Every structure is written in C-alpha cells, then in structure tokens.
Structure 1
Amino acid sequence: MAQIQRFGSNHRLSEAVVANGFVFLAGMVPEVEGDITAQTADVLRQIDHWLAQCGSDKAHILEATIFLPNLADYDGMNAAWDAWVDAQNPPARACVEAKLAKPEWKVEIKISAVQK
C-alpha cells in the first residue's frame, strides 16, 4: 500500500503530495503583481517552501513544466529561473505557451521531485 501525504489541502486540491518518496507539487502561480521576473521569483519561492515541507529541495527536482501565456516572457522568466535553479542538479524541463486561469498571471510552474 502506498504511503501518501497531502500538504496544503482544501476541497479542490493539495499544494503538494508525497507518495513513496516522490514529491508532486500543484501548479504554482504568482501571489504578487509585477513583471514576469518578479512573478517567476515569487513562484520559485513558493516551490522552495512546499519542497521543504515535503522533505525535499531544488537539488532533488526531477522535472519542471513551465506555462507562459506569452512566450515573449521567456527571457524574463529565465532570468529568475537561472538565478534560482541548482546548476549542479538541473531538472528535465519543458516550457510551453498556455492560457492561464487568471489573466494577471504571467507564469505557472509544475514540479516533481524526490525526497532527500
């Protein structure tokens, strides 16, 4: 039987789920206004928080999917990403253009990792 732990749950979703040493984060969206770099930095701060809650960190990220409603923001997103990512342990990554649930959101990031 799988050991499953849920973090930050409500009736709709969990911010994070841990199952058998794997960590799955919900799509993280910005909690601040600002340009793409500021919003990405905020999302990455949230990712750090939830990974820590789950016994993991950015060195243990396996994969990331980044959603941008406007691919013109790619360089600005990468400015925050490159300053944050563990360059010794970069994850597999995809970046796609996608319409997000709220027009003020410039980025959403979905992460899967393993526990330390």
Structure 2
Amino acid sequence: MTVKRIEVGPLMTGAVVHGNTVYLSGQTGSGATVTEQAKDCLAKVDRLLAAAGSDKSKLLQTLIYLKDMGDFAEMNSVWKDWIDPANPPARATSQAELAKPEILVEFTVTAALD
C-alpha cells in the first residue's frame, strides 16, 4: 500500500494518506481568541482534507486540545457551526499544555477517503 504525504515539512507532514484513510497533523490557528483560532484551525482542516480527496462529512475521529477547559463552550460553538451534523465524528476534548503559549486550541483529525 502506498503512502501519500501532503505539505511535507522538516519536522512533520500536514496530512498523510494511507489506504482509504487520511491522517492530519495537529492544526493550530491564529487569532487572539479561541473562536478566532478554532475557525482558522478548521479552515486549515478543510483545506488539507480537500487536498487529500476528502471532506468533513467523512471525519472518523477528532481530538481537540484546549489550553484551558474554561474555553470548552466557546470552542464547541465554533465546532457546532462547522461540522456536518449528519456525520459527526467520534471526538475527545482535553486540556493540554500546547506547543506555544499563544496557542489556545488544536485539532487533530482522521478521515476516510470514500
């Protein structure tokens, strides 16, 4: 089985396709608020899924990391507006110390191709 890498960088790849599954690296966004960062993250998820030949209707699992669980409702509001309501993925959300102090939210996504 082949492996296709999309947006290869020196330390990680934006997305990896193996078989009928696409795995995205953690996506972070810019902005001062969780809402701004979450919207930016999910736009990146849309772009990477499209580059792989998938979309949010084919999400299998999403892992969401928040710097502060006090931001859960704010993040969830963005999430609710973004997901395909007919095809929500399995999901987990947890609090984590993220790579940089200014990062408030990070999304890691796995999706099907067909």
> What secondary structure, in the 3-state scheme, does the structure 2 residue paired with 1:112 have?
strand
The CA distance in 2 between the partners of 1:38 and 1:10, in whole Å, is 25
- In the alignment, which residue of structure 2 is the partner of 1:91? 89
Identify the match of residue 33 of structure 1 among 16, 24, 31: 31
In 2: Cα distance, 1:59 partner to 1:74 partner: 23
Matches within 5 A, 1:1-116: 2-30=1-29, 32-116=30-114
Task: Normalising by structure 2, report the TM-score.
Answer: 0.98
Please list the CA deviations of residues 18-65 of structure 1 after superposition, one character each: whole Å capped at 9, or x if unmatched.
Answer: 0001000000011x2221111101100000000000000000000000
- After superposition, the CA RMSD in angstroms is 0.7
> Would you say how many aligned residue pairs link Structure 1 and Structure 2?
114
Runs of 4+ in 1 over 3 A off after TM superposition: none
SS of 2:102's equivalent in the other structure is: coil
TM-score normalized by the length of structure 1: 0.96
Secondary structure, counterpart of 2:11 in structure 1 = coil
* Identical residues among aligned pairs (%): 37
Tell me, in whole angstroms, the C-alpha distance in 2 between the residues paired with 1:113 and 1:39: 21
List alignment gaps of at least 5 residues for structure 2: none
